Structure 1
């Protein structure tokens, strides 16, 4: 047990010793006080340490967060058995050994059954409080850990998404400047037109780079402008065909995906007037396809890994639908998922974790309220029992507050931990999962 728990047991021992000495002891002598202190120490430490060791053992073998139902059943059985044995032993030591009020035979004859029953109930209340406290601490740790993990995942995804988008700027600019530098010597007038067109394209890049998705129509218009620039340089060596269905225009793809794939086509294949590179952009089964005839360069520069892998990673952050790649001896095709809705997954994750944190705070508040109610029950009911048995033992009335309050306590616990919340939480999870799958 922890040191603070031992100190708590020591204070409980002193408090109960003083209470029983001044209230129930006729002769207030040092000898009687020491006997009362010894008996209180025995009860406090045997029952406290016994229940504490059981709770610690069960926490290691059957944590609340991993096996709640199994832990509950084992806890009930173990504390019942342990407390019956400990109470019978403590009462035997108290009445037979220390006070010498009865013999061993008289003690086990049934004369002290009521006292044993009463003490067992007190011990069970204390043990229930210890296990409930352990459950609350475990729940708080688990809730806090889950919220922190979800926030870290969301922040990591957001940072990863921003990093991927920021790769597009230098990559596009580098390739565009390469095209421009070759045109300056070959055709200065075309270089001027190319510079004007490149400024328009770069403006589009700057406008779209902060977006997670853009319409297919915007991406197609941008791709056509970019293809015009490529035609300026390669002339008859490259040919482009656009065959995208009109109903797909209002749907969504990741920004600059076509531009990156067009760059890959040019980069990985050779193109000549006699053997032109044919690039088709068309719709196919809820995907936007980019296909080119395969004319692989014999000596290809080392790839930077930004193009296709960038698109795959960005799609993985936005949807569960995959980017498909087909390759044969004659052609190379990439299929981009076309999304009907415009999910904002990264932002949703962050918002959801904030809401989850608020829900966790509200739930912890509800749990604290329940355990405050439980602690009050464990303190006040035994006090009422003692008052009843001391003032009027023939008329037992403590059952009424004990049962009435107990039923209310059980209902409170069911509302916090069981029936009241499960269906709401399951429904919330189902809605969020359905939304994220879109």
Structure 2
């Protein structure tokens, strides 16, 4: 669109019919303003034609020169980076151009058309004074061109800045999502490696459940948001997978309708659930209890706190930080984390899926 607009602008200024017609109208208005009574005097028609020709040449030269000066500086000095330098140089160049062109036109018109002097007695002072009106007109033209040029460049810079911002956010968000896929697989394989020695039957069941879950991981890895329904279904499958590992050591409840509208960043629940399991004891004597519910358009993930005394399992250092950063890129709403000493609660805002 910008390329077509620029091309259309160049075609207009390159002496197109529209450009010539516009300057003809300006020349006619200037001529009538100088001598409004000339139309009623038949002997003044030739003088009127001469004045119209001079006005037309001045208008055409001044407007086309303004375009050339603007185009020259557009390609060399940015309004955004050097506004004062651009303003001073462009005005100086344009007014110098206007004075030179208008003086030459006045000189040639008086010498060739009206033959009002000879080369031996050139009226330099009157000719220089005759450039006052073109210089005033140049002030108006330069104001129009400078305003137009500044607004066009400012709009272009604003659009480019917004595009760069959007692209940067997209890269950041994609980078955060790329962390999830290998992170989830790495932790699952660690669990499976321990489970193989403890129970071959349980490990086989774990592998089948893991394949169903990992299919979901692959399906949503390119999405920015996924329906809440899918995240809840995934959370249930993930907890069922972990229950194969911990048996009675893990208890969970999902206390909301799976058809609840809204969306979440993909795998948000998996990271929270994994975080709870990683940092807390989960045994038959001290079961880990996880509860998922909905309150005030926020998904609440709650677990009892019973920290492990030994070092926690290895982690890629993501989790809550990853979820928080993705929310920052997607919405003005933020996650909330509460640690009461006995219960750990994370609130995830439910976003609208647009």
> Which residue number in structure 2 is paired with residue 262 of structure 1?
273
1:148-205 deviation per Cα after TM superposition (whole angstroms, max 9, x unaligned)? 1111112222222222222111011011101111111111121111111111111111
Partner of 2:188: 176
Q: C-alpha displacement at 1:7, in angstroms?
A: 4.6
CA shift for structure 1 position 270: 2.6
Q: How far off is 1:275 after superposition?
A: 2.0
**3-state SS of paired residue (2:285):** coil
Match among 96, 102, 112 for residue 12 of structure 1: 102
Work out the CA distance in 1 between the residues paired with 2:314 and 2:114.
92
| 8 Å contact from structure 1 (residues 315, 323) kept in 2 | yes
Report if aligned partners of 2:291, 2:303 keep a CA contact under 8 Å in 1: yes
* Count, aligned residues: 263
| 1:30 aligned partner | 120
Structure 2 partner of 1:133: 145
How much does 1:269 deviate? 2.0
Secondary structure of the residue aligned to 1:30 is coil
Change (3 A) 1:301 1:184: closer
The correspondence of residues 375-414 of structure 1 with structure 2, limited to 5 A, is none
1:218 aligned residue (211, 215, 230): 230
Q: Match for residue 299 of structure 2?
A: 288
Deviations 1:199-221 (A, max 9, x none): 11111110112222222222122
1:194 equivalent in structure 2: 206
Answer yes or no: is 1:309 the counterpart of 2:321.
Answer: yes
Report the equivalent of 2:246: 234
Cα pair 2:213 2:234 within 8 Å, conserved? yes
| Alpha carbons of structure 1 residues 296 and 31: separation in structure 2 relative to 1, 3 Å | farther
The alpha-carbon deviation at position 247 of structure 1 amounts to: 5.5
2:54 matched residue in structure 1: none
* Richer in helix (by share): 1
Q: SS of the residue aligned with 1:28?
A: coil
Find the aligned partners of 2:159 and 2:290 in 1 and give their Cα distance.
48
Cα deviation digits, residues 255-310 of structure 1 (max 9, x gap): 21111101110122233332222111112221111111112234346753321122
Q: Is the 8 A contact 2:227 2:353 kept in 1?
A: no
Q: After TM superposition, where is structure 1 displaced by more than 6 Å over at least 4 residues in a row?
A: none
Q: Which moved more, 1:195-204 or 1:239-248?
A: 239-248
Paired residues for 1:340-379 under 5 Å: 341-343=352-354
Root mean square deviation of aligned Cα:
2.3
1:347-402: per-residue Cα shift (whole Å, max 9, x none)? Answer: xxxxxxxxxxxxxxxxxxxxxxxxxxxxxxxxxxxxxxxxxxxxxxxxxxxxxxxx
Change (3 A) 1:215 1:199: same
Equivalent residue runs for 1:298-337 within 5 Å: 298=309, 299-300=311-312, 304-337=316-349
CA contact (8 A) 1:288 1:338 kept: yes
Counterpart CA distance in 2 for 1:27 and 1:279 is 103
| Residue from 221, 233, 246 that aligns with 1:209 | 221
SS at match of 1:336: strand
TM-score, with normalisation over the residues of structure 1? Answer: 0.55
1:245–1:282 contact (8 Å) kept in structure 2: no
Show structure 2 runs of 5+ residues with no match. Answer: 1-87
Q: Is the 8 A contact 1:205 1:256 kept in 2?
A: yes
Which residue, 161, 180, 189 being the options, matches 1:149?
A: 161
Provide the C-alpha distance between the structure 2 equivalents of 1:160 and 1:149, rounded to a whole number of angstroms.
16
Alpha-carbon displacement from aligned partner over 1:65-120 (angstroms, at most 9, x marks no partner): xxxxxxxxxxxxxxxxxxxxxxxxxxxxxxxxxxxxxxxxxxxxxxxxxxxxxx4x
Which of the numbers 279, 295, 319 marks the counterpart of 2:290? 279
Corresponding residue SS for 1:26 = coil
Write out per-residue CA displacement over residues 385-429 of structure 1, whole angstroms, 9 at most, x where no aligned residue: xxxxxxxxxxxxxxxxxxxxxxxxxxxxxxxxxxxxxxxxxxxxx
Per-residue Cα deviation, 1:305-341 (whole angstroms, up to 9, x for no partner): 32112222222333322211111111111111123x3
